[in-house]
């Protein structure tokens, strides 16, 4: 019994930590995984980044991030005056916390709730779901999307560069 449990645990741990390069999907499209900055869990694929503009954005700019060009980064301010730079994604692996809220939504026509890392619980951003009311930009094709806080995520290529040994230390 213990032997079977050990094998099952060994199999589960090897599955969970499969390297992205081993996945043929990532080799094919050349995109980059977005990781939780706190624990390194993969939370999204840059292939799913979209440009969903908020009418309440203080600043909107295009940046080259996560292996893609012209990613929309928006600076949004919550009712308490806290600024967040976010990117929007169609799909993300996050755990939604609390009931959906309609008040103070940065995206009119959408309700929101907090989105956290499913592995460590770090606040990653918010999930936005269409409330049935007409959205301001009349883009009804997006029913659900995520606003990910740029400072709470990082790209896998950036983490790879952190663990490379400088040439002067190589033997």
State how far the Cα of 95 lies from the Cα of 113, in Å rounded to an integer. 10
* 10 pLDDT above the threshold of 70: no
Domains and CATH numbers, the chain: 32-169 (2.170.150.20)
Nearest to 145 by CA among 161, 159, 160, 126: 126
Per-residue 3-state assignment (H helix, E strand, C coil) for 108-170: CCEEEEEEECCCCCCEEEEEEEECCCCCCCCCCCCCEEEEEEHHHEEEHHHHHHHCCCCHHHC
Q: What is the pLDDT of residues 85-123, one digit of tens each?
A: 999 999 999 999 999 999 999 999 999 999 999 999 999
Q: What is the pLDDT of residues 117-148, one digit of tens each?
A: 999 999 999 999 998 755 455 445 789 999 99
* 20 pLDDT above the threshold of 60: no
Q: What is the pLDDT of residue 165?
A: 59
Q: What is the pLDDT of residue 132?
A: 77
State how far the Cα of 138 lies from the Cα of 23, in Å rounded to an integer. 37
Tell me the DSSP string of 26-80.
HHHH---EEEETTT--EEEEGGGEE----TT-SEEEEEEETTEEEEEEEEEE-TT
Q: What is the pLDDT of residues 28-86, one digit of tens each?
A: 354 899 999 999 999 999 999 999 999 999 999 999 998 888 999 999 999 999 999 99
Q: What is the pLDDT of residue 158?
A: 75
Which of 7-16, 113-122, 160-169 has the lowest average pLDDT?
A: 7-16
């Amino acid at each position: 019994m213990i032997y079977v449990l050990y094998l099952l645990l060994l199999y589960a741990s090897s599955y969970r930590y499969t390297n992205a390069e081993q996945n043929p999907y990532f080799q094919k499209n050349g995109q980059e995984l977005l990781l939780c900055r706190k624990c390194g869990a993969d939370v999204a694929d840059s292939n799913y980044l979209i440009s969903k503009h908020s009418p309440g954005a203080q600043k909107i700019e295009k940046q080259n991030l996560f292996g893609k060009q012209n990613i929309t980064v928006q600076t949004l301010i919550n009712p308490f005056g806290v600024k967040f730079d976010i990117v929007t994604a169609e799909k993300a692996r996050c755990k939604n916390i609390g009931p959906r809220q309609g008040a103070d939504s940065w995206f009119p026509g959408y309700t929101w709730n907090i989105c956290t890392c499913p592995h460590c619980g770090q606040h990653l951003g918010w999930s936005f779901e269409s409330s049935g009311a007409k959205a301001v930009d009349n883009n009804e094709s997006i029913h659900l999307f995520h606003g990910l806080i740029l400072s709470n995520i990082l790209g896998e290529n950036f983490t790879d560069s952190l663990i490379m040994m400088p040439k002067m230390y190589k033997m």
